[in-house]
Structure formats: C-alpha cells, structure tokens
Amino acid sequence: MTGVERTRDRAVADRDGDETPALEVDGLSHRYGRTQALTDVSVAAAPGELIALLGPSGCGKTTLVQAIAGHLHPTAGQVALHGTTVTTVPPESRGVGVVFQRSTLYPHMTVAENVAYGLAAQGVPDETRAERVRRYLELVELTHLRAASPDALSGGQARRVELARALAPEPDVLVLDEPLSALDRRLRVRLRDEITRIQRTTGVTTLFVTHDQADAMTVADRLVVMRDGTVAATGTPRALYESPPNRFTARFLGRSNELAGRVVDDDVGRALGDAASDDELDLVRVAVGETRFVVPDTAPKTDRVLVHVRPEAVRVAAAGVGDDRERTDRNGSDHDAESGGPNADRDATVSLDGTVARVADAGSRYDVHVSLDSATAIDEGLETPRAVDSPPTVTAECTRCRLAAGDRVRIAFDGRDVSVFPWSTERAESGGAGDPVR
Amino acid sequence: MSLASETIRHQGSRAPARLVAGLLGGLLVAGFALPFVAFLWRAGSVALWETLAEPATRTAIRNSLLTAPVATGIATALGVPLAYVLARASFVGKRVVEALVILPLVVPPVVGGALLLSVVGRFTPLGAAAASAGVPLTDSLLGVILAQTFVAAPFVVITARAGFAAVDERLEQASRSLGHGPIATFTNVSLPLARGAIVAGIVLTFARATGEFGATMMVAYNPRTMPTQLWVAFISGGIDAIVPLAVALLTITLAVLALVRRVARVPTVVDA
C-alpha cells in the first residue's frame, strides 16, 4: 500500500505550497432547453481536500458533476484543474475519476479487468498494470474477488470495485455522485467510513455529491450547499451547522426552530466607534420578546427577522424550576444590554413560557415540543407572524427530563446559539424542527 | 364468504374467455400449419435431389448464398453505426431519418424495387454511368445485392438500435472518464453489451435478404437467386416444380431462426 500513500504525500506537499486549487469551477451556468439547471456556480477544492456537495434532488448537483467530468458542455462558465482550464476538454483527457449512483461496472469483464480498464487507456505496461490492480483491490479489501464477475458482487462490494476502478488511473480529482444512495442504512454508514479512509490514504481531491446531510457532514472537510442551481452556502460542516448563513442551509443541515424577532439596532459597530473590531462591525442587536442580544448580521436591514436556534441549544424545564429563570432575570433586562458591550449581549438568554404539546422518545434523547403561550410574547408590537406556527412551537432536546404533554414549562436559549435571517412568509420546504428524527 | 364466491365467479368467467381465445388462436395456428404440412407432403413424391442437382437450381442457390451475406455485411457495416447514432444522439431531422429507416419495411418490395430502379435503372444517369463502366447495377449480382440491402437493412438497424438504447449511457461515460475516447468506448463497451441484439439483427437481415423476391425481381431478374428461380420454376412447372428449392430455402431460413433463438433473447421477425 506504500505506493498508494505516496500519492497522499504528494498531495499534502502541494497543499503546503502554492494554493492553486486542484479543482476550480467558476461562474458555471447551464440550461437544458428552457430549464435553468445551474446559475453562476463557483466551487474550488484545494489539493487533497474532500468537499461534499450537498443539496436536495433536482438542485443541479448532477449537472455540475457532468460538467466537471466533461460529459456536458456548460452554457457558461469555466472548469479548471490545477489551474488549467478544461471546460472544452473531452472527459478522457481530464483526469477526473467518476463513480456514479448506479453501478457502471462492465458485466462482460471480471473485477480485475474492470479495475485495469482505465490503465489500458493510459498505456500502462502489463506488469505495472497487474501490480496497480492488485494494489487498488487491496485498498478496497477485495483482492479475493479479482476473478469474479460483477454480477456476483453484493451492492457494497460493487461500490468498492468501482472506487478501485476510478482510483487506479490515479486521477487528479475524484467525483462521487451519490455513491451511497442505492445502499441500505447500515451498509451506507460502513461504506461512508471506508470512502473517508480511502480518500485520506490516497489523498485524491474528492467531490462527494449527496442529498444526505449526515453523509455530507461526516465525510467532508468542507461543505458546499446547493439550492435551485445555485450555491447556498460554503464552509466547514461545523461552521455551517452552528452559524448557517441562510434559512435554507439552517433547515437543510439539521432541525431548526424559528421564532419571530425584531431588529432594535442594526449597526452595533457604529455605537462602539473606533473601539469596534472588524467582527463587531457586522453585528446587529435583535430582540425576541423582551430579551435583547447581539448576533452577526446575516440579514439585510429589515425590521423583522427569523430567529433560528437548533433544538439541542434549547433548554427546557418545568415552569418555576431550575436556574433558567434567574439567568434570564440577570441577562434579559434592557439596562444590561445597554450597559454591557456586544459580547455581554451575546450571553443574553431568551426564555419563554409554554406548554408541552408532545414528547417524542428518540432513544438517545427526548424531543420536547413546546407550544409557546402566545405569539405576542415573542413578537411584541408586530402582528402575528404567519410563517411561524401559531401558536409557535419550539422543539427542545433533553436527555433526562421527565416531562409529559400538558406540563407547563419554560424554555431557554442563549443569544450565542442564534442565527437571524431575513423575514420570510414562505414555508421552508425541508428540515423543520417538527420533522421526524433524521 | 363473499371472498370465496368472488373467486369462484372469477374463475367461472375466465374459463370460457380462455376457451374462446384458444379456439380463435387455434384456427390461426391451423391456418399456418396446414399449408406447411400439405406442402411438405409433396416433397416426398418429387425428385428432390435430382432437381437440386440441376445447374439452374445450383446456380440460384449459389447466387443466393453469395449475395445475401454481402448484403447483410453492407447492412451491418452501415446499419450498426446508424443504429448507435439513433440510439444516442438527438438532432434536427431525426424523425425523418427514423421514418426513412422504416420505409423499406412498410413499402411493398416490388415498389421498393421500382424506387431503386428510378435511381440505378439502366436509363438513369447513375445506372448508365455504372453500366458503361462495366459494373451494371441492374440485372447483375450487384443489383441483387442492392435490392436485398434496401429491403433487409432496416432489420439490423432497428434491432441494434434497441440493443444500444438498452445500454446505460453512464457505462459509456465511465469509460470516457477512465481515459478511453469515443471510438474505444464504442468498441470496448457499447458494442459488446449490445452484441446479442446486434447478432439477432444480423441474422434477421440475412434471413430477409435470402428470401427477398419482389425488389430483386424488379432490379435484377437475372442472374437468378433462389426466390426468383422459384418463381420461374412455378411458372413452368407448377407447385411440384418448386418443392425442392422451397425446401432448401426453408432449411436455410429455419437454420437461421434456430440460430437467432440460440444467440439472443429473440426479437423475432414479428417484433421487428
């Protein structure tokens, strides 16, 4: 396996040096007849990086893959590999390995012949070829099936052979188009881990396309979230999960509670004057109910905002019990927000009263769905928001709470766990907090 | 209770329906079988081998076995690429091309022969030029081949096209991404995977070319092939005179059909 690892070293060396992206997609647009599939998509991958391209079906992921692999001429934009533009270069001259969603193993060849197929095109001499086939079959732990027919393989084995076949010619970039979608849950998790291991071993720059946020977040160094043919967000999985830049990303990457808030100060940085750091210049002060806190400014200047918080960031306790009440009293009042700086505001805790509507036992935790007392409690001075369930429901996760439907509770969350988005009256299409466990 | 009675009523209504279908179908099968059996019955009473040994008959068999493979070869060499293009590409005028491919199947062969004559006939520019160059396109083996190709080629095109369409395009894309160009991909992947359908198409084309009469008669009544010789024999000697040659033709055709069944999951003549 030493030869395989050497490639990784090379990739790492590349990364330390000049930062020419291994793959760069710039302003790519494509339309099929009247249907616009991609609009101005730009994505870049550093050498050795594993990027997950995540989005719901029909968002243009496959079109992007086809353009990168060279099976499609984009209407506009460029694809570059290691700084060389390849937009019009045919697929056989690109060095982009592809694994499709459905198996494309050749039924008229054995497993070993399939893996050797790409080497034949490169004119690799026979003895080197046999050695390379052995090495890559070893990498996917299928050496014993070298003489088997693809028809005799299980779903997982077929995927691994395809991986070996795509990797054997040592491509510059590996594109995996929904490689796990056709597999059942258990196999999928195992193969996902294996793909990560193989990618780390070979160090090949990889684009992993999926509609499954768990797959994407587990494997990726960096995540590109797509929606309706455009890039909705780019960043590390953790960063995008914790501070999603928009509502779509927030809801697509996990469960989201949405509450109505209003902007009370859209330029916190100015108030601080010269003392403000760059970060602080992009802050807004938002109020949910009577609690004010400062958050990064991700919403255009609007009076109302959608306040997003993850269920695991929401604490829930029977009304009048626990310390949430005290913390709210300490941080939630107006004079505190005015006297403290923006950082003090970030510690503000929002706390709201409600009644438990339903408790779902998810095994490792309970999902507590709480109906808040009234819309006006969270949205004072504004008419009842339509986009937020009325009365609004918030989902909280807890591991040891003993709550049942009908209990009076108080929920609380911190300003630092909140993201705000422009007010929207459209219902988000996916990933709401009320959805079943994903 | 209601379920049981449903079932019974169901069976009760289905049985007569099957009986009727069986009777009607049986009538048709009898219509196929009776002439066949009656015809072969005569074979026992005629001088089979003597007739087959006659020079005219032998020439006809030889001509057929010479021309039909060539026509099949031409139809395959030109038809398989066309089938691939029709299966994969979308272009302006594709419908027209598809209609043209079907045309020889729906036009009566005699009319097909007339169509051909209007291009290669002895008094057309092309026909005259070819004749003066010493390669007459009518009343020659070349004319026979032309007529056979015209009538039989659609079979290989249509069958091979279905075969290529059944090959997942992703398999070809994978081959391209593995470094093989379009032609290598065609020969390494598309062709082997569509092989069954293509072979079936070739066999059907051969069978059709061997039996071709209408267009051949128009374009090249001479030299004789088996079908034209059959006609000549019938005119001069009635049914008994054609039995030997007909048996030979049937033998070839049946052998060919048996081959189709062996080679591929048969798209039969009817399907095509």
- In DSSP notation, B85-150 reads HHHH---TTHHHHHHHHHHHHHS-HHHHHHHHHHHHSTTSHHHHHHHHTT--SSSSHHHHHHHHHH
Q: What is the pLDDT of residue A349?
A: 83
Dihedral of CA atoms B184, B185, B188, B191 in degrees, nearest 10, equals: -110
B118 and B229 co-located in one domain: yes
Q: Is residue B269 part of a domain?
A: no
Number of neighbours of residue A85 by Cβ within 10 angstroms: 12
Q: Is residue B72 part of a domain?
A: yes
Inter-CA distances, B96 with A278, B86, B103, B272, Å: 66, 11, 10, 19
B247 and B212 co-located in one domain: yes
B245 and B115 co-located in one domain: yes
B88 and B207 co-located in one domain: yes
B63 and B144 co-located in one domain: yes
By CA distance, what is A175's nearest residue in B?
B177
The residues of B whose Cβ lies within 8 A of any Cβ of A are 168, 170-171, 173-182, 184, 188-189, 192-193
Q: What is the pLDDT of residues B21-79, one digit of tens each?
A: 999 999 999 999 999 888 888 777 777 788 888 898 899 999 999 999 999 999 999 99
B34 and B74 co-located in one domain: no
C-alpha–C-alpha distance, residues A67 and A74, integer Å: 6
> Is B193 within 8 Å of A108 when comparing Cβ atoms?
yes
By CA distance, what is B183's nearest residue in A?
A92
Phi, psi of B123 (to 5 degrees): -100, 10
A5: enclosing H helix or E strand: helix A2-16
Dihedral of CA atoms B183, B185, B188, B189 in degrees, nearest 10, equals: -130
| Mean of the per-residue pLDDT values of chain B | 88
The token duo for A144 is 């014993």
pLDDT exceeds 90 at position B9:
no
Alpha-carbon distance A117 to nearest alpha carbon in chain B (angstroms): 7
Q: What is the CATH number of the domain that holds B257?
A: 1.10.3720.10
B236 and B201 co-located in one domain: yes
A76: enclosing H helix or E strand: strand A76-81
Q: What is the pLDDT of residue A344?
A: 52
B215: enclosing H helix or E strand: helix B214-219
Interface A–B counts its CB contacts (< 8 A) at 60
The token duo for B67 is 């021309």
> Is A121 within 8 Å of B179 when comparing Cβ atoms?
yes
Number of neighbours of residue B137 by Cβ within 10 angstroms: 24
B87 and B70 co-located in one domain: yes
Comparing B241 with B158, the larger pLDDT belongs to B158
C-alpha–C-alpha distance, residues A143 and A161, integer Å: 10
The answer, for A322 touching chain B at a CB cutoff of 8 Å, is no
Q: What is the pLDDT of residue A258?
A: 83
Q: What is the pLDDT of residue B16?
A: 85
- Write out residues 152-211 of A within 8 Å (CB-CB) of B: 165-166, 169
A264: enclosing H helix or E strand: strand A257-265
> Is B178 within 8 Å of A69 when comparing Cβ atoms?
no
| CB-CB contact of B161 with B171 (8 Å) | no
> Is B170 within 8 Å of A100 when comparing Cβ atoms?
yes
| CB-CB contact of A202 with A219 (8 Å) | no
SS3 of residue A174 by DSSP: strand
B166 pLDDT tier (thresholds 50, 70, 90): very high
| Number of domains composing chain B | 2
Q: Is residue B271 part of a domain?
A: no
Domain containing residue B4: 1-45
Q: Is residue B78 part of a domain?
A: yes
Inter-CA distances, A422 with A263, A304, A372, A375, B222, Å: 10, 7, 22, 18, 87
Dihedral of CA atoms B143, B147, B148, B151 in degrees, nearest 10, equals: 170
> Is A71 within 8 Å of B176 when comparing Cβ atoms?
yes
What does each of the 438 residues of chain A score in pLDDT, given as a tens digit?
Answer: 444 544 444 444 444 445 789 999 999 999 998 889 999 999 999 999 999 999 998 899 999 999 999 999 999 999 999 989 999 999 999 999 999 999 999 999 999 999 999 998 888 888 899 999 999 999 999 999 999 999 999 989 999 999 999 999 999 999 999 999 888 888 899 999 999 999 999 999 999 999 998 899 999 999 999 999 999 999 999 999 988 888 899 888 988 888 877 777 766 656 555 554 554 456 777 777 677 777 776 655 667 778 888 988 888 888 765 544 444 443 444 444 444 455 556 667 888 888 898 888 888 888 898 888 755 334 433 444 444 445 678 888 888 888 888 888 888 888 888 888 887 655 544 434 433 333
B25 and B74 co-located in one domain: no
B11 and B52 co-located in one domain: no
Alpha-carbon distance B32 to nearest alpha carbon in chain A (angstroms): 40
C-alpha–C-alpha distance, residues A424 and A388, integer Å: 9
Q: What is the pLDDT of residues B247-259, one digit of tens each?
A: 888 888 888 778 7
A199, exposed or middle or buried, with CB in 10 Å at 0-12, 13-18, 19+? buried
B21 and B108 co-located in one domain: no
The answer, for A100 touching chain B at a CB cutoff of 8 Å, is yes
| CB-CB contact of A315 with A351 (8 Å) | no
Q: Is the ipTM of this complex over 0.90?
A: no
Phi, psi of A26 (to 5 degrees): -125, 115
Indicate which of A81, A94, A114, A117 best probes the interface with B, i.e. most B CBs within 10 Å of its own CB.
A117
Name the region of B14 (left: φ>0; alpha: ψ -120 to 50; beta: rest). Answer: alpha
Alpha-carbon distance B81 to nearest alpha carbon in chain A (angstroms): 21
By CA distance, what is A97's nearest residue in B?
B177
Q: Is residue B270 part of a domain?
A: no
DSSP state of B187: I
Residues in chain A: 438
Single-letter amino acid, residue B114: A
Bond prior to A391 in cis (omega within 30° of 0): yes
Q: Is residue B113 part of a domain?
A: yes
pTM over 0.90: no
Q: What is the pLDDT of residue A58?
A: 86
> Is B173 within 8 Å of A102 when comparing Cβ atoms?
no
The answer, for A97 touching chain B at a CB cutoff of 8 Å, is yes
Inter-CA distances, A319 with A180, A353, B142, B242, B262, Å: 45, 7, 100, 105, 80
Characterize A352-378 residue by residue with b for buried, 16 or more Cβ atoms within 10 angstroms of its Cβ, and e for exposed: bbbebbebeeeeebbbbbbbbebbebb
Concatenating the DSSP letter of every residue in A325-355 gives HHHHHHHSSHHHHHHS-HHHHHT-EEEEEEE
Alpha-carbon distance B70 to nearest alpha carbon in chain A (angstroms): 30
Q: What is the pLDDT of residues B74-122, one digit of tens each?
A: 999 999 999 999 999 989 999 999 999 999 999 999 999 999 999 999 8
Indicate which of A106, A178, A204 best probes the interface with B, i.e. most B CBs within 10 Å of its own CB.
A106
The answer, for A91 touching chain B at a CB cutoff of 8 Å, is yes
Q: What is the pLDDT of residue A430?
A: 41
Q: What is the pLDDT of residue A376?
A: 37
> Is A104 within 8 Å of B173 when comparing Cβ atoms?
yes
Residues 6+ apart with CB under 8 A from A183: A155, A156, A159, A191
Q: What is the pLDDT of residue A337?
A: 41
Q: What is the pLDDT of residue A269?
A: 59
Residues 6+ apart with CB under 8 A from A57: A211
Name the region of A288 (left: φ>0; alpha: ψ -120 to 50; beta: rest). Answer: beta
Q: Is residue B174 part of a domain?
A: yes
B70 and B99 co-located in one domain: yes
> Is A97 within 8 Å of B171 when comparing Cβ atoms?
no
